[in-house]
Structure 1
Amino acid sequence: MPTAIIADDEYLQREELRRMLQQAWPELTILAECEDGCDALDAIVAHQPDVAFLDIRMPGLSGLDVARVSNGKCNVVFVTAYDAYAIDAFNLAACDYLLKPIQNERLAQSVERVQARLSRGSKSEELLQMMDLVEKRLSEQSNKERLRWISASSGKSIQIFPIDEILFFESDTRYTRVVSASDEGLIRTAIKDLQKGLDPEQFWQINRGILVNMNAIARAHRDELGGIKVEIKGSKEQLKVSQTYAWRFKGN
């Protein structure tokens, strides 16, 4: 029986896609529903599904990141609301795409394409070849939405932090620390919401609660237990890298 996972940070979108897939592909078993890219990657490794339906923009790892790191382990169908810069690229690739809001007829076409690839025993071999083109278009769209500064509470005052001067963000269940070389403050914005306004090429997520400015990384090293930690310029703190993001620090 064919198997799949669904990854989308919006609950209603996941539920709607599951419902539509049950009608379009009754034989398909949904093994997991994930609300961010990290969970999606974990689900692909754990369940080895035949196909992954991945939203492009998700907290943690994006759908593109998940597809790249999973390295062709399953067929990929991207789900996107941004056709203006993505559709041409997807049409050149072995993978497929679904444009939100998903239409029944378009989903049926996508199911037929995936079924055909499964019958041939093929994966999305061309997926990695089209990543640069898609990401370039993503960047062009996202640059219009970037944060330039952040206002954070620092003691009894409000501190303005230019984005380029921030070393890292660190979240707990209530607050997010904003840390620069000379000061720090607190905001109530969660990491997943911050990511929407930050350049993913500049601010790397290294675990669920930390975004680090890659320009502020002095070095990365393994500790006595084999875990990876990064040292930050202008700070005595060492930040732990979770296994999900260890790929960022592997040598070529």
Structure 2
Amino acid sequence: MNIFQQLFKSMYSPKDISRFRFQGIGKTILFLFFLALISIIPASYYLTSFTNNAIEGVTKSLKEDLPSFTIQNGELSSDNKEPIEIEKDQYTFLFDSTGTVTEGDLDSNENMIALLKDRFVIVNAGSVQSSPYSMVSGLNVTNEDILDFVNSAESLKYIFIPVMIVVLYLTTSASLFLKVTIFALIGLLLANMLNRKLPYRQSWRITAYSITLSTIFLMLMGLFQIGIPGSFLLDWFVICIMLYLSIKEIPKRKAA
């Protein structure tokens, strides 16, 4: 059975998952790397799309929509007396030199680039990254300086985006391996409760395939940007159910 067939079977067949416990560990590890690759599709897509649109939009905003400003002594200053909010196709650009808007006021579910009174904030796919201007000692820039930097970033994005995707893939892979290691221990407890003989190495293999359904489901929800309340708990619940059903397919221990 090839890796694509295993992926398909793992989404609905506990019986097949239980059979995978006998396969080589190398094939199971390869499957996890493949699953990690699939799981980062939404984040990779939106990162690429967001970066391309952000560079284009920020360039246009700096040229046409924003007043002259400076960032000095850790603060954004301009002659503008109220916040400026510019709606783009896939994100919002916010400029506020008055201090009216704080980082806590930003909606983490909305893609946004914000130049606030004391910090620069990027919100993308629910992730908030904030950098105070004071973090860079002696920072003294104007809107023209930032425009020059953004223009330079246009060519650097072809390096930045692939590097970020590789980092995302490696961290996601590490997270999946850690998750499998933890749930494999839970698998041993379930095997004992169900009176099944299951060494840890086999539990680890079964667990690697039992996380497929929840991983693919959350990937699809992320791709279509559908928020799932308590997604963390749902993820763990589905894994436990698949793990339980798969272990249940293992023949019971013979009575002594």
Q: Which has the larger radius of gyration?
A: 2
TM-score normalized by structure 2? 0.29
TM-score normalized by structure 1? 0.29
Q: Which has the higher helix share?
A: 2
Structure number with the bigger relative contact order (C-alpha 8 A, sep ≥ 6) is 2
Q: Which has the higher strand share?
A: 1
